[in-house]
Amino acid sequence: MERPLTQHITFPPLGLRQYEAVGGYQAVRKAVRHMEPKDVTALVKEANMRGRGGAGFSTGMKWSFVPMDVPGPKYLVANADEMEPGTFKDRWLLEGNPHQLIEGMIVSAYAIQATESFVFLRWAYKQAAVEIRKAIAEAYDAGYLGKNILGTDYSLEMHLHTGVGRYMCGEETALLNSLEGKRATPRAKPPFPQVSGLFGRPTIVNNVETLSYIPHIVNHGVAWFQSLSRTADGGTKIYGVSGRVNKPGAWELPMGVTMRELIEEHAGGMQNGYRFRGVLPGGASTDFLVEEHMDVQMDFTGVAAAGSRLGTGTMVVLDDRTCPVGFVHNLEHFFSQESCGFCTPCREGLPWTEKLLWAIEQGKGREEDLALLASHATLLGPGNTFCALAPGAMEPLQSALKYFKEDFEQHIKHKKCPYHD
Amino acid sequence: MLTIAEKEQIEHEIRQVPVKKAACIEALKIVQGHRRWVSDEGIRDVADILEMSPEEVDSVATFYNLIFRQPVGRHIILLCDSISCYVMGLRALHQQLVQLLGIQYGQTTPDGRFTLLPNPCLGTCDHAPALMVDDDLYRDLSADDLEAILAKYT
């Protein structure tokens, strides 16, 4: 089975010459010398490459919204802020093969004719910062970055920006505000960043995994990309599993593997003494799936049909010895803390949700709290808030109320957490 | 007052961006890099050089989790308090840290050695639970590992 994204991941990662020796930077050569920018976009669009950051929007489609005839600078940004709890896939790509990301960024920037590019990297990824800084310098020295790349008319600058910690920075418009030196609050859309983004200029923000894939699509084409997948969503995907499984980890697998394969085969099943109860299929902001969903294919359509989202494809397993109320409280604490406070439902609603859950977990919950929590799940849901943070926060909550209702009721009835002394 | 080194580094960042204000976060990082935290005076100095109001700079500084607006210890402990770490034993780790250090989240030990902070997801969920001390990441932890880890930092 082919694993284009991860086959050359090593620690320490390949240097530029080693990366070139395994075919690295061929996609840059091909794109800037032999392809029109619009042809690169068309190729990615035709491949049905869907963004790997969580939302799953068509990458080629996103690029095609960039107005190509406007004079002045355009920007490309790699979203390497990975702060979604339970998600650790991009760290692997950033630390293990930084040149692959940089190559993907150059090709993508060429497609939209960006003149400057940024890697927006979170503070905690210290080793990734070291590797990326080094790889960018090597790419400049080799003529893949800077003025007149490979002797062509195309020029691109690349900068590494390290963040200062805030989950909101992962939201693309908030990320742009942060890059502009401001608070990372989201912007109203439209205008979309593709038209008016960084410093008011056309800007594309793509996830690290998405960008890392671009050189492979350019090198091998649409049919190859689609052949890697088991479903209509092309390519492979980096999946991960954490929690009380025997072998937590991340694996590059065909898009559309089942949850059962991931948990039982790759993650080695549940640890001795622990039973599977549920899973967040794609990070903290996705709805729980449970035992009955074991054979769901983990692609965008399959997980949505089961009532959740593929999200980042990195799963967090809930076992039978972890309190579901405590689990959800932990998630809502995170979202409440990380809310930017910009819109009222999120600013007020998330702390309220968190306090209700804490009270229930502490045995101080009241019967009416469950209806209150359910109403929050609606009031903070899609369409009622400025951005997707609060709706994302409500996904695990609403599904926990559905699948683990008896646990909530037990807490309230017996005035204590049944999982702790 | 900003030192010459701080000033030069901030001026360098200003030259990288189309408007001065856009260097705000970088300027705060520079000041913090030199002094470990950003005081009211630091806010005013950054505001002066970027031609912003101190309130504007402070609004940026207080937004981000890792810009420190009060003094911190010589070493920062970031304990990952996210969901995978929660499942894998965060509680025990937290209790042990609190006991060993004698401080709660957000506090600094009286000798100025450590500041303990919760941190949303360190992105190493397959090796949970985890924490960072300064630039060093520690993974697959149990409460028993903590004493030896802390001993490395004076």
Tens of pLDDT along A133-144? 999 999 999 999
Q: Is there a single domain that holds both residue A86 and residue A203?
A: yes
Contact assignment for B86 to A330 by CB distance below 8 Å: yes
Q: Is there a single domain that holds both residue B34 and residue B85?
A: no
Mean predicted confidence (pLDDT) in A10-20:
98
Q: Is there a single domain that holds both residue A362 and residue A407?
A: yes
Which among A262, A293, A319 is the end of a domain? A319
Q: Is there a single domain that holds both residue B122 and residue B56?
A: no
Q: Is there a single domain that holds both residue B146 and residue B80?
A: yes
Cα distances (angstroms) measured from residue A113 to each of A207, A235, A290:
18, 25, 45
Q: Is there a single domain that holds both residue A168 and residue A150?
A: yes
Q: Is there a single domain that holds both residue B59 and residue B91?
A: no
Interface test with A, best of B126, B127, B131, B136 (most A CBs within 10 A): B126
Q: Is there a single domain that holds both residue A87 and residue A191?
A: yes
Compute the distance between CA of residue B26 and CA of residue B12 in angstroms, rounded to an integer.
10
Q: Is there a single domain that holds both residue B100 and residue B135?
A: yes
Which residue of chain A is at minimal alpha-carbon distance from B56? A182
- In angstroms, what separates the C-alpha of A11 from chain B's closest C-alpha? 15
Which residue of chain A is at minimal alpha-carbon distance from B133? A124
In a domain, B68, yes or no: no
CATH code for position B23: 1.10.10
Taking only the tens place, the pLDDT of each residue in A274-332 is 999 999 999 999 999 999 999 999 999 999 999 999 999 999 999 999 999 999 999 99
Q: What is the ipTM of this complex?
A: 0.96
- Residues B46, B50, B53, B56: is their CA dihedral positive or negative? negative
CATH code for position B99: 3.40.30.10
Q: Which domain holds residue A191?
A: 16-228
Q: What is the DSSP string of B96-140?
A: HHHHHH---TT-B-TTS-EEEEEES--S-GGG-S-EEETTEEE-S
Could you tell me the pLDDT band of residue A90, with boundaries at 50, 70 and 90?
very high
CA angle B36, B37, B41 (to 5 degrees): 130
Into how many domains does chain B fold? 2
Q: Is there a single domain that holds both residue B99 and residue B137?
A: yes
Q: Is there a single domain that holds both residue A172 and residue A281?
A: no
Taking only the tens place, the pLDDT of each residue in A18-50 is 999 999 999 999 999 999 999 999 999 999 999
In a domain, A419, yes or no: no
Q: Is there a single domain that holds both residue A66 and residue A201?
A: yes
Q: Is there a single domain that holds both residue A26 and residue A168?
A: yes
Q: Is there a single domain that holds both residue B82 and residue B138?
A: yes
B85 is in an annotated binding site: yes
Q: Is there a single domain that holds both residue B133 and residue B95?
A: yes
Interface test with B, best of A180, A277, A279 (most B CBs within 10 A): A180
- In angstroms, what separates the C-alpha of A216 from chain B's closest C-alpha? 25
Contact assignment for B119 to A91 by CB distance below 8 Å: no
In a domain, B46, yes or no: yes
Compute the distance between CA of residue B91 and CA of residue B114 in angstroms, rounded to an integer.
20
Q: Is there a single domain that holds both residue B56 and residue B81?
A: no
Q: Does residue A54 surpass a pLDDT of 90?
A: no
Residue B121 is nearest to which of A84, A166, A249, comparing CB atoms? A84
Q: Is there a single domain that holds both residue B51 and residue B118?
A: no
Taking only the tens place, the pLDDT of each residue in A155-205 is 999 999 999 999 999 999 999 999 999 999 999 999 999 999 999 999 999
Which residue of chain A is at minimal alpha-carbon distance from B85? A243
Q: Which domain holds residue B138?
A: 75-151
Residue A43's identity, in one-letter code, is L
Q: Is there a single domain that holds both residue B46 and residue B82?
A: no
Q: Is there a single domain that holds both residue A177 and residue A311?
A: no
In a domain, B103, yes or no: yes
The answer to whether the beta carbons of residues A184 and A168 sit under 8 Å apart is yes
In a domain, A5, yes or no: no
Q: What's the pLDDT at A421?
A: 65
In a domain, A396, yes or no: yes
CATH code for position A244: 3.10.20.600
B24 is in an annotated binding site: no
Global pTM reads: 0.96
Q: Is there a single domain that holds both residue B43 and residue B12?
A: yes
Instruction: Find the largest Cα–Cα distance for chain B.
Output: 51
Taking only the tens place, the pLDDT of each residue in A197-246 is 999 999 999 999 999 999 999 999 999 999 999 999 999 999 999 999 99
CATH code for position A345: 1.20.1440.230
Cα distances (angstroms) measured from residue B21 to each of A238, A301, B60, B93:
38, 43, 11, 41
Q: Would you give the distance in Å from CA A339 to the centre of its chain?
A: 18
